Copies of this chain bind each other. A is one copy, B any other.
């Protein structure tokens, strides 16, 4: 691989938005407007009554989810929301957390850090394996089930409406809570969105996590939870005991961006940017690596592929780096050990030009070929 070792590796790693997807000029204008309107409040602690978050922002998020503003809690990015939720849910009682296999690696580590006993339920091309879930529920329920129903990270899979209805029924019947994480939901490139799990099973059974990171700006660090009034208040209390006060300016900028239509405009802009990238990426994988996709996503950031690699994951990651392509460790997306000779590789397509993505796939192909076959 000496011909490629000297060039910068192509990064199939983090799910960072491309800079073209962040409307930073408009965000600067909203920042100025917020500072003009409430100059002092932006730099003071939020009043205690506002620890659930900016009132205007919570009302707007509530409207979008058919929820009361009091059911909404806004925090420093959606990972912080997940951390607080896990701390709250796993403080006492049932430690079991069920997740899709594979799922978001940072969610796994948060659940474990808070004492969760995490186990996976297989992810199929149309979402979680509902029959496997049903048979497990015969033996007991989890504290909560964590799912990313739209354009899943890392699988790219969207849960079908049929499976959503079945999952919602199971949650109601067996009495457990679903945490649905929806950062990519609005980045749909074709087709119509199935209903959310909240719409199907209601706030007694579903806690929805959302984020402005993929639709507006990750640097703002604004994420939110839509639940019920009591859960929102419990989260705000725990947040107050953890970081005292939200950041008023960031939340005011998010509120202005929602109210003015900037978020909606920006989502349209991102779709126009990601559409061609998605199609080229799917084509490049099929052409270069064959029939290895876990799913053809209709949106979001991620493709994932499953490869038979006799030499194992470590060897593949090293060979890939030698060939000039950096990969994330796919095994980190699984709650339990995977077969040694089967490797899942996540290929984020959102931040790479079609040319770079195709180059990365070509290099990955060379890396695979360089490994011993058995």
A residues near B, CB below 8 A? 14, 16-17, 19, 22, 24-25, 27-28, 31-32, 35, 39-46, 48, 76-77, 79-80, 83, 106, 109-110, 113, 213, 217-221, 241-250
Contact = CB atoms under 8 A, between A and B. Distances in A.
A276 to B, nearest CB: 22
Contacts of A250: 247, 249-250
B24 A79 contact: no
B44 A219 contact: yes
A265 B110 CA distance: 42
Contacts of A248: 219
Most buried by B among A27, A41, A44: A44
B242 A83 contact: yes
B79 A244 contact: yes
Please list the 8 inter-chain residue pairs (A to B) with the smallest Cβ-Cβ separation, ordered nearest first.
Answer: A43-B217, A80-B243, A43-B219, A28-B35, A45-B218, A79-B244, A221-B247, A24-B39
B219 A77 contact: no
Grouping DSSP codes into helix (H, G, I), strand (E, B) and loop, the A interface class, with mixed when no group exceeds half, is helix
A91 to B, nearest CB: 9
B241 A110 contact: yes
Contact of A243 (B14, B113, B221): B221
Contacts of A220: 43, 247, 249
B24 A40 contact: yes
B244 A106 contact: yes
A117 B126 CA distance: 48
A219 B41 CA distance: 8
Contacts of A77: 243-245
Contact of A27 (B22, B43, B247): B43
Given A109-B241, A244-B77, A244-B106, A16 B45 contact: yes
A40 B77 CA distance: 18
Contact of A110 (B14, B22, B41, B242): B242
Name the residue in A35, A43, A220 with the highest tally of chain B Cβ atoms < 10 Å from its Cβ.
Answer: A43
21 contacts: A14-B48, A16-B45, A19-B44, A22-B40, A22-B44, A24-B39, A24-B43, A43-B217, A43-B218, A43-B220, A77-B243, A79-B242, A79-B243, A79-B244, A109-B241, A219-B245, A220-B249, A221-B246, A221-B247, A249-B249, A250-B250
Contacts of A41: 219
Given A83-B242, A243-B221, A44 B16 contact: yes
Nearest to A78: B244
A218 B44 contact: yes
